[in-house]
Structure formats: C-alpha cells, structure tokens
Amino acid sequence: MKKIETDVLIIGAGITGLSAAWELRKRGVDFLVIDKLAKAGGVISTHEEEGFIYETGPNTGVLSQPETIELINEMGGLCELEIANPAAKKRWIWKNGKWEPLPSGLKAAINTPLFSFADKLRILGEPFRAKGKNPDETLAQLVRRRMGKSFLDYAVDPFILGIYSGDPSYLVTRYAMPKLYNLEQNYGSFIGGAIRKGFQKKDERAKLATGDVFSIKGGLSNLIHALVTSVGAERLMLDFKDATVLPEIEGLRKYNSAGETDYQTKGTHLGEDVIIRSRKVITTIGSYEIPQTLPFLSRSEAKAVDNLLYARVVQLTIGFKKWEGIPLDAFGGLVPFKENRNVLGILFLSSFLAGRVPEGGALLSVFMGGIRRPELCDLSDDQIITIVAEEVKAMTGLNHFQPDLLKITRYDHAIPQYGLSSGERLETIDVLHKKHPGLLIGGNLRNGIGMSDRIKQGRELAVLISSEG
C-alpha cells in the first residue's frame, strides 16, 4: 500500500481542478490532483484525423470572465488564444423549413419574421413593464411575461437548447441565467438595463471579459497540456479509481494548526492501493459522484447535493473535405423545440475557427437528445446516422450525405440543469463547508456551466482554501 501526504487534495483534473491547481502552484501551496480518467482535461479532448481537427466535448468557450484571459496569459506562450471569426456573432434559427437570422438588436427584432406582431409590440413596451417578484420564476415564465411567447419559442428556447440542451420551463432564471435575472431586478428591464450597463465605465480587468467566442489554436486540449506542464505532471495521479474521502476516524482524529481535521482519501492507482492524507480537499466532480466520494455525508446531505438533473446528449462530428452545401457564414443554426425536428442544432465550426479542415472543406457538429428528447440518445449508431443525414441535407442544402469524417460521442451527464432544486443544493453545500472545515465542493453543480465559469471557480476555490490557513 502506498501512502502519500499533501496539503490540499484536488479531486478531478478537468478545467476546474487544473485551474485551482495552477492557482495553488502560484501561491506555493503543496497539492496533489487525482482523477479517475487516464488523461487530464475531463471532457475536453481534441483529435486530429483525415486533415480535420475536432473536439469531443466542448467545442468553444465564451470570454465571459476575465480569469480566462489571465489564465491563458499566465501559461507563458504554452498555448495561444484563438478568437472566433466575426461570423461567429451570427446565429441562425430554423423556422418553417428555412434559416432566419437571430436578431442582434431592437430594429432587427421588430423586422424579423421570427416573432409575432403582438410580441413585437411587447418588445417595444418591455422597458416599461413591472419587474417580477417571484425569485423562483422559470426562464419560460420570465420571458413570456416580459417579451411574449414567440420570443420564447424562437429566441430564448433555441438559445437554451444551444447552451443547456435544456427546457426554459425547467430552468430557474436566477440560477441558470443570473445576469439576465439581475438585469430585471437591478434595472427593471432587459433592454433598459442592457443600455445602462453599456454606458457604465469598466476597469481594465473587466474589459478582458469581451464576450467573444474563443478556442485555443490547435484545439482546446492545448490549454490542458499547458496547464499540466505549468502545474507539473508529477502533481497529478491519473487513472485513480474508487476515490473515497473520510475525515480521520473518531479517537484517532488529529487537528492541524488551523483547527481543521485531516482527511484520508483511499483508492487504487495503477492497481496499487493508495492512501492520501491531506489537510484539505477540493472536489470538482459531478454531483452524481459526490455520495460515493464523500460517504461521510448524511443521507439527506448527499441527496440534496446529488439532486441535479443532467441532460443526455449525442454529438456527431461531421467533416467534408469538399463542401457542396450552402455557404456556412455563421456560428451555426439552432432548432427551436417547437419545430419538432430531431436535432438541437448545428455548429459550423470551420466557418469561425481557422485551420480545422482541408482547404474547401467544412466541419460540422450536430447535437441530438437533450432534456426533452432523451430517447434519441438510446438509438443505435446506424439509426442516429440515418436521422442526422436527412436533417443535415434538409438544413444545409446537401444533395448527398457522404462525409469524410463521422464521429459519434455520447454523454450521459452532458450539462447540469439549474432548476428549482438548486436552492437546496447550494444551501447544503454552504452548510457542509462550515460543518467540515477544509472541505470545498466545486464543479459544475454550481457557479455556471461555461468554460470561463469553470476557470473562475477553480481560481476562487484555490484562493479560498489557501487563505484559510
């Protein structure tokens, strides 16, 4: 049996865990990162094949937090930021058998065929509408109240499908879209709030959060490789199976100088039993892994933390060395649930990321399933390919579906859905942090699902745990 001692143990070597590790490294804190997978990066994974560079996992991120730019800059040239081509600013929405551009301003919203005449009038009146009083209002309820049903069906619903693969009737706004919720609560209006915020002066750090779509040159895995190099590969134990964390048992409990209890983490690494003793523990794993990993939680505590719905999603990566469909001059197309199609949307990756395809080719990423169509995830590969072939031909003008690259990736826990149970989960996590000093629970079960959200949380966890002594 192998025994290891460290100051901070990080469970999970995804982008959150690695961001936390890098912050600890900068602060001179002793740490170790473990992960059940044999590679770092979690779901982030870049591949190169047949002249195509593609992702299985997140395809891009959004520069919604300054921590993302700061992290990349701190990598010292080990990876390079790639800002998406301006074509990425355009989104298409599928309606009545054709693509329509998603309006990017008030004038376009009034002229678009996506919204009804009555809802266009509602949009004009939105700044004068009273703000809501229900803190647990769903996104669907909020949008219907302020903007109208057609705006919900053909703007917000496809947007939510693109981000969450979710259902606006399930997501609670203050948890799933806190910036939108705060616009209404702080300014009384989406439109008025956006205008007033646009005139507010930003400091230099805030300006780093440009909202641009980004990747890393050569693929997102290059950011992971840079982090592993910067953190130190010797500080990672990958392929660490069956990790379980326990405070030191009663009677043998030893307290450190900060009055905290040491933790013992047991598991196996490369077939060898391992015990890791640490002063502190950070978890960055999914909520569904918490009960097994932290077996000392009470049944009610474990249930509250684990009470999180995840969308199931199938992703098809499709490459064509010679593209013969319509011009793909947009970020992609989103398909409203109301249109009753079998795909959630299509990303046109080759239109806004450089060097991902052979000259004259195209790279698409098609998504199926989600919260409202999980049964599609149970279909066989052949059934999925048949469905997607017809959808892609109908939506991109291809006469024949004969791709040079076709990969299917299935995700059983793709994207967490921040619904009404989020309140109980967040309150329970706060209680656990106070009840078990030295334990911090992070990951995408709170604080947002985007890549920038994960990087920000990782840094904040490291700052918090290192400041506690």
| 84-130 pLDDT, tens digit each | 998 778 999 999 999 999 998 889 999 999 999 999 999 999 999 99
What average pLDDT does the structure give for the chain?
95
Q: What is the pLDDT of residues 188-214, one digit of tens each?
A: 999 888 888 888 888 889 999 999 999
Q: What is the pLDDT of residues 1-11, one digit of tens each?
A: 999 999 999 99
Q: What is residue 444's predicted lDDT score, i.e. its pLDDT?
A: 97
Q: What is the pLDDT of residues 199-253, one digit of tens each?
A: 888 888 999 999 999 999 999 999 999 999 999 999 999 999 999 999 976 434 4
% of the chain residues with pLDDT over 70 = 97
Options 3.40.50.1100, 2.60.40.1180, 2.40.30.170, 3.50.50.60; CATH of 2-44+220-308+421-467: 3.50.50.60
Domain boundaries, the chain: 2-44+220-308+421-467, 103-199
In this model, does residue 169 exceed pLDDT 70? yes
Q: What is the pLDDT of residues 323-339, one digit of tens each?
A: 999 999 999 999 999 99
In this model, does residue 255 exceed pLDDT 60? no
Per CATH, the number for 103-199 is 1.10.3110.10
**With bands split at pLDDT 50, 70 and 90, how would you rate the model's confidence at 469?**
low
The model's pTM: 0.95
Q: What is the 3-state secondary structure (H, E, C) of the chain?
A: CEEEEEEEEEECCCHHHHHHHHHHHHCCCCEEEECCCCCCCCCCCEEEECCEEEECCCCCEECCCHHHHHHHHHCCCCCCEEECCHHHHCEEEEECCEEEECCCCHHHHHHCCCCCHHHHHHHHHHHHCCCCCCCCCEHHHHHHHHCCHHHHHHHHHHHHHHHHCCCCCCCEHHHHCHHHHHHHHHHCCHHHHHHHHHHCCCCCCHHHCCCCEEEECCCCHHHHHHHHHHHCHHHEECCEEEEEEEECCCCCCCECCCCCECEEEEEEECCEEEEEEEEEEEECCCHHHHHHHCCCCCHHHHHHHHCCEEEEEEEEEEEECCCCCCCCCCCEEECCHHHCCCCCEEEEHHHCCCCCCCCCCEEEEEEEECCCCHHHHHCCHHHHHHHHHHHHHHHHCCCCCCCCEEEEEEEEEEEEECCCCHHHHHHHHHHHHHHCCCEEECCCCCCCCCHHHHHHHHHHHHHHHHHCC
Q: What is the pLDDT of residues 424-448, one digit of tens each?
A: 999 999 999 999 999 999 999 999 9
In this model, does residue 363 exceed pLDDT 50? yes
Mean pLDDT check: name the lowest of 193-197, 297-301, 362-366, 416-420: 193-197
Mean pLDDT of 337-355: 97
Q: What is residue 87's predicted lDDT score, i.e. its pLDDT?
A: 76
